[in-house]
Amino acid sequence: MLSENVEILLNLLGRIKNDDENSFKEFFFLYQPGVFHFLYRYTSDCETAKDLTQETFIRFWLHRRDIDLSICSNAYLYRIARNLSINYSLKNSRTSRLEDEENTLIRLSRNPETEYDSVFFMDDYQKAIEKLPERCRATFILSRFSGFDYSEIAGILGVSLQTVKNQMNKALSVLKKLLAIYLN
Partner 1 sequence: MYRIKKSVDSQFLIRVIEEKVSPEEMEYFERWLEESEENKEQFSTLILLWDKIGASKAPEIPNKEITWRKIVSTLSKKTSPSLSLNSKRSSLHFNFEKDEPKEPNTLRNYHKSFDYIWLRLAAIVFFSAGLIYFINQYQPFHNSISNFEHKKELKEVIKEYTLRTEKGERITFPLGDGSVVYLNADSKLIYPSTFADSFRHVELIGEAYFSVKPYKNRPFEVISGDAKILVTGTKFNVKNRNDGISIVVAEGSVRTSTSVYEKVQTLRRGEMITYSQKNNNPKPVKADLSHYLAWRSDKLAFSHTPLVEVVEEIKRYYNLEAIFLKEKLKSKTLTGLFNTDSLDKIISIINLTLDIRIDRNGNKLIVTDGED
User: Contact positions toward partner 1, by CB under 8 A?
Assistant: 2, 4-5, 8, 19, 21-22, 25-26, 28-30, 32-34, 36-37, 40-41, 46, 49-50, 53-54, 57-58, 61-62, 120-123, 125-126, 128-129, 143-145, 147, 149-150, 165, 168-169, 172, 175-176, 179, 182-183
Query: Minimum CB separation from partner 1 for residue 116, in Å?
Result: 11
Closest by Cα among 9, 73, 41, 30 to 145: 41
Query: Minimum CB separation from partner 1 for residue 148, in Å?
Result: 11
CA 96 remoteness from chain centre: 21
Q: Which is nearer to partner 1, 65 or 94 (CB)?
A: 65
Query: Minimum CB separation from partner 1 for residue 106, in Å?
Result: 20
Query: Whole-angstrom Cα distance, residue 42 to residue 82?
Result: 8
Are residues 95 and 47 in contact, defined by beta-carbon separation less than 8 angstroms?
no
Query: Minimum CB separation from partner 1 for residue 172, in Å?
Result: 6
CA distances from 129 to 2, 64, 106, 150, 176 (A): 25, 31, 26, 18, 11
Q: Which is nearer to partner 1, 133 or 147 (CB)?
A: 147
